[in-house]
Structures are given as structure tokens and as C-alpha cells.
Structure 1
């Protein structure tokens, strides 16, 4: 038991670990760093991780974790580095405690995570963490429409004006 009390970090990254993260890992209250990235871990993030009161770095990226980010983790006041990028997490991004200072890159690749803010008793949509672009951007629609029209015109021009295109059309008919 003294061995676990003297450990400052655990790095089990890229070890092909699978299955759910044991809730008992939350009992490692004196741990400063835990890296479980690049494995095949599934299931939810254990809420017991909130018991790791001295943790400074928690990397759970590039796994197959799902569910919500436990709100209990917002009590981790010493957490400086956090990443759950490239999982299957969903729900609202925590924004209290240390989580208010984390960059959206630490959530990238979780298409069902979103930023939610509470104002006047309802939850407002603020976009999706890790998305490349905002779907409500009108410039995106214009660029997409123009690209489609140009691609269509180039295809029609090729089919009717280029000799190879004409041969292909004649063979199909």
C-alpha cells in the first residue's frame, strides 16, 4: 500500500487496454498524473476520478469512452492538463472550476459534446466541440453552393466538349 502512496504518475498509454476503466482507479488519491490514452477503453469515465484530489494531468484521449463527462470532475482544483479528445462522449462540456480554462482541443473528436450555458432557466446551444466548422455559418453555405455549381459545370463541359467524355457517353448509350 505504501508503494501506491509514493507513486506520482501512471502511464498506461498505448498498451492495447480494453474494457471499462475500473472505478477503483479513483482511489489513487495521491496520484499527480494518469495517462490512459491510445487504448481501446470503453464505457463511461468513472465519477470516482473526482477522488483523485491531487491530480494535475489526466489524459483519456483516443479511446472509445462514451457517456457524459462526470460533473464531479469539476471539483479537481489542481487539474492543469485534461484531454478526452477522440472518444464518443456526449452531453454538455463542464465549464466550472478548472474546466473553464481548458481549450476546446482537449474535447476534439467527440461530435456529440457541446457547450451549454444556463441562462434564464434553459440550456442554450453554443456549438459542437471538436467540429471543424459551424454549420450555421452562411459563408459555409455560399461556398458549398458555389463549389457544387462549379463542379457541375466542369463535369458537363468535360462530358460534352472533351473527346474522351464524348466517347464515354456514346458507349453508355
Structure 2
């Protein structure tokens, strides 16, 4: 796949840690867009992703990723939404004090104390069924 520019793997219900994409397949080094969102991926975002020099779009949101976001030139350009929904992901450019509570089907109330309300500056509650 030497000409592959976009790899969209979102909403596949993948589990486990992020695979070392660059180490196993050098043709992926030319990817311009990688979407791994809405899976059940765990572990850290690998530092080796910073070697994907052409990567202009990355979305790992709505997984279970942890730890710091790698430092790399292109990682400072990705939108915060690219990392959202990973409650244990931290560091620049993403700040973990943004809480997304989208489509959780809250029917009665929501306790902001459970979400550490003193550190929240944005709460996204769209897609819920308030009564």
C-alpha cells in the first residue's frame, strides 16, 4: 500500500493497545490522515507516530487511551477534539479539564462532583435524554 494516504478505522470496536504502525509497515509513513476514533483502544499514544511526517489529521477520540500526548511538530496542530473522550489522556495540546458527556442517556440528574467540577471549563451534554 505505498500510495495509501488516508486510513479510516473508526467505529470498528477494536480493543487493545495502539499497534506500532511505523515499525511494521514503512508504507504507512506517508499517511496524511489516520482515524482510530470510536474504538476501545487502550494504552498510550506511541511516540513513533511523530515520525509520520505527512500526518495532517489524527483522530484517536472516544477510546480509553492514557498518559501524555507525544511531543511532535504535527501533534501541536491537531484539534483537541482529536483526543476527546480519553479521560486519562493528558498534556499539551489536549487539556484533560474538558469533559465530554455525549450520548450517555442521562434521564434525571448529573452530579458534577463526580466529574471533578472544580477543574471543568467545558461540559458537552449533547445527545442525552433529559426529563
Equivalence for 2:104 = none
Report if aligned partners of 1:44, 1:68 keep a CA contact under 8 Å in 2.
Answer: yes
2:19 to 46, 54, 58: 46
Equivalence for 1:161 = none
Question: Gaps spanning 5+ residues in structure 2: where?
Answer: 101-114, 122-131
Question: Gaps spanning 5+ residues in structure 1: where?
Answer: 6-29, 118-125, 140-173
Between the two proteins, the alignment pairs up a number of residues equal to 105
Equivalence for 2:41 = 65
2:99 to 120, 123, 131: 131
Q: Cα–Cα, structure 1 residues 138 and 38, in superposed 2: closer, same or farther, change >3 Å?
A: closer
Counterparts of 2:73 and 2:34, CA distance in 1: 15
Higher relative contact order (CA 8 A, sep 6+): 2
Post-superposition offset of 1:76: 1.1
1:76 to 41, 52, 74: 52
Equivalence for 1:85 = 61
Report if aligned partners of 2:76, 2:92 keep a CA contact under 8 Å in 1.
Answer: no
Counterparts of 2:53 and 2:34, CA distance in 1: 13
Q: Which has the larger radius of gyration?
A: 1
Post-superposition offset of 1:77: 1.2
The structure whose residues are more often helix, as a share, is: 1
1:112 aligns with 2:88: yes
User: Secondary structure at 2:71's aligned position in 1?
Assistant: coil
Report if aligned partners of 1:57, 1:80 keep a CA contact under 8 Å in 2.
Answer: yes
State the TM-score, normalizing by the size of structure 1: 0.53
C-alpha RMSD over aligned residues: 2.9
Q: Cα–Cα, structure 1 residues 110 and 58, in superposed 2: closer, same or farther, change >3 Å?
A: same
State the TM-score, normalizing by the size of structure 2: 0.68
